[in-house]
Amino acid sequence: MNRQSLVAAIPHALVATDLPGLGVKIEGKVRDIYVQGDRRILVTTDRVSAFDKVVAAIPFKGQVLNQLSAWWFDEIDDVVGNHVISIPDPNVTVAHEAQTLPVEVIVRGYITGVTSTSLWTLYEAGVELPYGLDLPPGLSKNDPLPEPVITPTTKASGGEHDERLTSEQVVSLDLVEAGLWSHVQRVALDVFARGQEAAADAGLILVDTKYEFGLVEGQLVLIDEVHTPDSSRYWLAANHKKGDPQNYDKEHLRLWLKARGYSGDGAPPEIPDEFVATVAERYIDAYERLTGESFVPGELPADKRIGEALR
């Protein structure tokens, strides 16, 4: 899509949904979820969050996330199953209601970060690392780790912050049974390796990502989203060693906000349409690079289209 079309689409970004009759609505930062018995309807909006706050709406972002997740779920189906029943609309996934594991599984392939609590900041300061990690000396910022590591956290709710965990704590706190947690870790590393391979073929680096797992009829499945620019950090491979990486994810927006003094307190600064279009371009480019398919924008307005698809 060209820049002009993206700017023109900004007023039509999908900010909210109102779909009466589809079940109990749960509004997340990005997704509106409608629960119907043993299934849930996930509508991925164009909302984008940073610093735990919704800060803008990026046209077609929801469609990118939903369709890219669907593509990835198919790509890794031989490694682990998923919760998907159908994709009735570019922004919608109908899924099995899963018993969600109360741990977010974050896999990191590189040492990076700019915040005071980031892995790189702590490593550079020489303090004890979280998650029970023991990394070798001599690493530089944005270096690949000797091997990918799993850094689990709790799944916070109600505005609370996720708490960092060691793998031992996941089991000792009775969050996940020991045998199941071992299985989750093996699957997460296998899926991450598959993601890194596909990213490399697309001229990108999959830096780190977050997975959420659940159980459907006792079977482990991936849920929510997988390897999207919201749940993952992607860098352009070509300039990885040329100063600051070029982000192909929502970190591009976070850095823009941070440079203007915003870190989650108060109202975010107004984001110019041109920059909103730039962020949209990054999302769409990531989709096209990874899938090898041209992005076909859904008909606007999306809310009307979605309502008709779910009748």
Residues 234 and 176 in one domain: yes
pLDDT digits over 79-115, tens only?
999 999 999 999 999 999 999 999 999 999 999 987 8
Residues 193 and 213 in one domain: yes
Identify the band that residue 117 occupies on the pLDDT scale cut at 50, 70 and 90. confident
Position 10 pLDDT exceeds 80: yes
3 state SS of 236: strand
Bridge partners of 150?
Answer: 107
Residue 268: cis peptide before it, omega within 30 degrees of 0:
no
pLDDT digits over 27-46, tens only?
999 999 999 999 999 999 99
Which range of residues forms the domain containing residue 127? 100-239
Bridge partners of 206?
Answer: 234
Instruction: Select from 210, 239, 268 the last residue of a domain.
Output: 239
| CA–CA dist 198, 202 (Å, integer) | 6
Position 157 pLDDT exceeds 80: no
Structure tokens at 63: 């469609």
State which H helix or E strand residue 125 sits in: helix 119-125
Instruction: Select from 181, 211, 239 the last residue of a domain.
Output: 239
| Dihedral sign for Cα atoms in the order 40, 44, 47, 53 | positive
| CA–CA dist 235, 147 (Å, integer) | 18
Residues 23 and 87 in one domain: yes
pLDDT score of 116? 82
Residue 36 within any structural domain of the chain: yes
Residue 244 within any structural domain of the chain: no
CB atoms within 10 A of CB 310: 17
| CA–CA dist 44, 271 (Å, integer) | 21
Q: Tell me if 205 sits within 8 A of 241, measured CB to CB.
A: no
Residue 247 within any structural domain of the chain: no
Quote the distance between the C-alpha of residue 77 and its chain's center: 18
Identify the band that residue 14 occupies on the pLDDT scale cut at 50, 70 and 90. very high
Residue 226 within any structural domain of the chain: yes
What integer is the mean pLDDT of 129-135? 95
Show Cβ contacts of residue 296 under 8 Å, excluding neighbours closer than 6 positions.
none
Show Cβ contacts of residue 103 under 8 Å, excluding neighbours closer than 6 positions.
152, 153, 154, 155, 165, 170, 175, 176, 184, 213
Residues 122 and 84 in one domain: no
Residue 248 within any structural domain of the chain: no
What integer is the mean pLDDT of 5-23? 97
Residue 171 within any structural domain of the chain: yes
Residues 83 and 117 in one domain: no
CATH number, domain of 34, equals: 3.30.200.20
Residues 260 and 288 in one domain: yes
Residue 179 within any structural domain of the chain: yes
pTM as predicted:
0.95
Position 171 pLDDT exceeds 70: yes
Residue 19 within any structural domain of the chain: yes
Quote the distance between the C-alpha of residue 151 and its chain's center: 15
Q: How high is the mean pLDDT of the chain?
A: 96
Instruction: Select from 186, 207, 239 the last residue of a domain.
Output: 239
Residues 261 and 273 in one domain: yes
Residues 33 and 129 in one domain: no
Residues 234 and 108 in one domain: yes
CATH number, domain of 232, equals: 3.30.470.20
Position 241 pLDDT exceeds 90: no
pLDDT score of 1? 87
| CA–CA dist 80, 222 (Å, integer) | 7
Q: What letter does residue 126 receive in the DSSP assignment?
A: T
Position 213 pLDDT exceeds 90: yes
pLDDT digits over 263-278, tens only?
999 999 999 999 999 9
Position 211 pLDDT exceeds 70: yes
Position 240 pLDDT exceeds 90: no
Residue 28: closest CA among 214, 278, 231, 280: 231
Query: Within 13 A of 39's CA, how many CA atoms are on the CB side?
Result: 8
User: How many distinct structural domains can be found in the chain?
Assistant: 2
pLDDT score of 159? 60
